[in-house]
Amino acid sequence: MLSQGSTVAFYGDSITTGWHSISSLDQRWTARVSARYGWTELNCARGGMGFVRWRGERPAPGAPRAHTGEPLGLLAEVLASDADACVVALGCDDSVLVRDDIATGTERWAPQIRRAIERDLDLLLDRFRRDRLAVLDLYRLFPPDGGGLPPGWLGVRHQLLPACAQRDIPVLDANAPRLHDGGCYGADGVHPNDTGHAILAEAIGPRLAAHFGSDEPTGKR
């Protein structure tokens, strides 16, 4: 059971940071969920980052970060922290690299993404017990594109889900249908605003709490 006062590390991308579309940091879904269940939030996330995409250093000032899964990057902060549990909310931005593979008919990025996922999960399992590690299936956050999810997102999911299954790590659904009701995104149409993050928190929070065995504090129901 994850008790009140426990620290939870959220390892993710711009959906986890609340990038540019929220009015204040306490409005992002990670802060809302933490406040609801009495956890201390440790936000270890960076916009645009995936398991491989933009995970490296900048080759020059102002240049984009390198696409590489070799460095631990922000994962090192999670592993070295005093966190009691970890939520992995990463992978959507790797869809850019998968789409490049699809466009070029190659498999340059998919194997690198799989290796990075497996390495990250192994390190996290060494640091946290299975019941203190949650991996989110983020891909249903986004509206279907005609016949289903865009192929880039499905390509990352194809690497993530088997890696979790092989390690007996449950993958929690991050689906939040109300997110697509309108008025839930910022000006870019991609990043949720305050309303969108509130909807995410309402959807994801109970699933995390059930996985971690956390009770909602009295008076917050």
Number of domains within the chain:
1
What DSSP element (H or E) covers 8? Answer: strand 7-12
At residue 146, the pLDDT reads 44
Average pLDDT over residues 48-71: 96
Give the CATH number for residue 119. Answer: 3.40.50.1110
The secondary structure of 79-118 as a DSSP string is HHS--SEEEEE--GGGHHHHHHHHHHT--SSHHHHHHHHH
Coil vs helix vs strand at 134: strand
**63 in any annotated domain:** yes
Structure confidence by residue, pLDDT tens digits, 161-208: 999 999 999 999 998 989 888 899 999 888 999 999 999 999 999 999
**177 in any annotated domain:** yes
Q: Quick one: what percent of the chain has pLDDT higher than 90?
A: 81
- C-alpha distance from residue 77 to each of 44, 127, 203, 218 (Å): 7, 12, 27, 32
**31 in any annotated domain:** yes
What DSSP element (H or E) covers 161? Answer: helix 151-166
**2 in any annotated domain:** no
Q: How big is the chain, counted in residues?
A: 221
Domain with 86, as residue range(s), is 7-212
Q: Which of 97, 91, 106, 110 is nearest to 50 (CA)?
A: 91
The Cα–Cα gap between 160 and 206 comes to 22
The pair of three-digit structure tokens given for residue 30, joined into one six-digit string: 């990670």
* Whole-angstrom Cα Rg for the chain: 17
Average pLDDT over residues 126-149: 79
Chain-centre distance for alpha carbon 147: 24
- C-alpha distance from residue 129 to each of 5, 85, 132, 154, 165 (Å): 18, 8, 5, 28, 15
At residue 19, the pLDDT reads 85
**220 in any annotated domain:** no
Structure confidence by residue, pLDDT tens digits, 61-95: 999 999 999 999 999 999 999 999 999 999 999 99
Handedness of CA 205, 135, 53, 108 (dihedral sign): negative
Coil vs helix vs strand at 38: coil
**193 in any annotated domain:** yes
**217 in any annotated domain:** no
Q: Are 51 and 75 in contact (CB under 8 A)?
A: no
Structure confidence by residue, pLDDT tens digits, 14-29: 999 998 899 999 999 9
Q: What is the largest CA-CA distance in the chain?
A: 55
pTM given for the model: 0.94
**105 in any annotated domain:** yes
